[in-house]
Structure 1
């Protein structure tokens, strides 16, 4: 996601729905952030593989895995959809409460979110979105660093994320809040370009 602002105005989901489809934005507290052009192939390979493994692990279960682009609306209270001022599109997400799903996407915090870092999005995902997901109660947040081949995991402890856990992208890593999902890294890491 690029960090160019649409403009200095306050926006909500009602505005967002009127914008052209050829340029994508996310809203965070009413501020529009233009998303970067299509991510590169290694980014998509990482996101697609995590989604694929999560989806397989959840087969026949009540939780559902999704891959971007899916609008995740994060209401502050009980405001109508068109008044919501925060709408994001995480790379991969899992929702266990089917009441949060509708034809437009997700309304409310997913249980697990994965963001795959790109040079243009790393700071935004590690700071602004981490704070956002913590505030809205995303139970577990993963940041995958394909260049460094590192995974950073944040888990909600009460109302805040605890100290992050750092793993290499090798072997396997289970999702703490959904232990049936175990991401296997070795084949994926072997596919990533050395100079990525």
Structure 2
């Protein structure tokens, strides 16, 4: 996160920084993004292939980072770059990214982003009504799936680990063995 003196960054300030470095703007704070690890990229690559195949005959489409998701309300713009997202409203794709609420967002944890993924981003995604939020942990080789309830909150996640079949709650056709994401041989 960029140090600041109790002020919020503007969207224009974000754009100036994002020209030089991958970044996110969440609730007026700018978070600089570092390059992901090899393992992180392998997981996202595998998941993207699975989603592409499973969503083949659907109007929804998976997109991998870097790709801006613009979550905007009357007070401010938030710009995030989830590791993977599923877009079902293609008409909201523009030259800057996707200006809307994805149906599903996936984040892969790293040491530097874990607290942001579990707190800052989870609260943002919940506030904007992202129906399903997946957190993939390469260390524990688990997938946690949070679903928004009728009150607009994420409840206790469904956690998948070795030998489980990962299942989306909002897309009944998205299900696959977790070993498709991880190398359990090591």
TM surpasses 0.5: yes
Give the Cα separation in 2 of the matches to 1:74 and 1:65.
Answer: 18
Q: Alpha-carbon deviation of 1:55? A: 1.3
Question: How is 1:93-104 mapped onto 2 (pairs within 5 angstroms)?
Answer: 93-104=85-96
CA offset at residue 69 of structure 1? 0.5
Could you state the TM-score of these two structures normalised by the residue count of structure 2?
0.90
The answer to whether 1:153 aligns with 2:145 is: yes
Structure 1 portions without partners, runs of 5+: none
Corresponding position of 2:26 = 28
1:47 to 2, 25, 44: 44
Q: Would the alpha carbon gap of residues 186 and 111 (structure 1) be closer, same or farther in structure 2, given more than 3 Å must change? A: same
From 112, 121, 128, the equivalent of 2:120 is 128
The Cα RMSD (Å) is 1.9
Q: Quote how far apart the aligned CAs of 1:44 are.
A: 0.6
Structure 2 residue 136 is matched with structure 1 residue 139:
no
Q: d(CA) in 2 for partners of 1:47 and 1:18?
A: 28
How many Å apart are 1:6 and its aligned residue? 5.3
- Shifted more, 40-49 versus 55-64: the winner is 55-64
Using the TM superposition, name which of 127-136 and 99-108 deviates more: 99-108
Q: Report the alpha carbon displacement of residue 43 of structure 1 after superposing the two structures with TM.
A: 0.5
Q: TM-score, normalised by structure 1?
A: 0.86
2:174 to 170, 181, 191: 181
Identify which of structures 1 and 2 has the higher relative contact order when contacts are C-alpha pairs closer than 8 Å and 6+ apart.
1
Does the residue aligned with 1:11 lie in a helix, a strand or coil?
A: coil
Q: For 1:6 and 1:102, how far apart are their aligned partners in 2?
A: 30
* Over 6 Å off, 4+ runs: none
Per mean C-alpha deviation after superposition, the further-off stretch among 14-23 and 132-141 is: 14-23
In the alignment, does 2:96 pair up with 1:110? no
Is the aligned partner of 1:59 residue 2:56? yes
1:2-61: CA deviation from partner (whole Å, max 9, x where unpaired): xx32534422333322225342110111111111x2111001111111111111111132
Q: Could you tell me which residue of structure 2 aligns to residue 76 of structure 1?
A: 73
TM-superposed CA distance for 1:191, in Å, is: 6.2
Aligned to 1:12: 10
Gaps of 5+ in 2: none
Question: What is the CA distance between 1:162 and its match in structure 2?
Answer: 1.7
